Amino acid sequence: MAGTRTTPNVRTTGHRTADLRAPADRPRTRFTAKLTTGHTFRARGFTLVELMITVAIVAILVSIALPSYSNVMLKLNRTAAANFMMDIANREEQITLDQRGYTATIGTGGLGLSATSDVATNYSFAVALTGNDCAGNSVSGPAYVITATAIGAQASDGNLCLDSRNNKTPAAKWAS
């Protein structure tokens, strides 16, 4: 063929070139395709630099979003515990009207309440009828003090306290 240069082990057919050498002998180059218009296009993937930049951007976004997500989850768990404590306080007041006294038993045989599984995995609850109230004053007469002790990942958020005098500590955690 005129104008076509051939080399050993290479066969030319129209605009495609087929390499007949064994796969181990072929040079490792990118696939090229030549269209009938004469333009050559290369099959292209992502370079290592492009992938590294993408990973860096994702890492920055995660480092910003993860603490915010963690804070929201702490606040959500705290709110659920505070709601359960308010349920305990309401039930204590009902028991007082019926039995003329408070009870220290939250579950069966007392208030008949139980925390949901997500609240129970983050807090343990107790009711005391003697000792100090949430403000640290001595409890006298019929009174109760409900404490929610943070456990597990919630421990960094701290404990909650609610008493029969409607003292709520820490106040900042009850305001939210």
Q: What is the pLDDT of residues 63-75, one digit of tens each?
A: 999 888 989 999 9
The residues pairing with 16 across neighbouring beta strands, listed in sequence order, are: 13
Contact 30, 43 (CB under 8 A): yes
Contact 102, 93 (CB under 8 A): no
Structural domains of the chain ordered from first start: 50-175 (3.30.700)
Q: How far is 7 from 176, CA to CA, in rounded Å?
A: 80
How is residue 12 annotated by DSSP?
A: E
Q: What is the pLDDT of residues 44-100, one digit of tens each?
A: 788 899 999 999 999 999 999 988 898 999 999 999 999 999 999 999 999 888 888
Q: What is the pLDDT of residue 125?
A: 94
Q: What is the pLDDT of residue 147?
A: 94
> Span 111-121, mean pLDDT?
90
Q: Is the pLDDT of residue 108 over 90?
A: no
Question: For the chain, what is the mean pLDDT?
Answer: 82
> Span 98-111, mean pLDDT?
88
> Span 14-21, mean pLDDT?
54
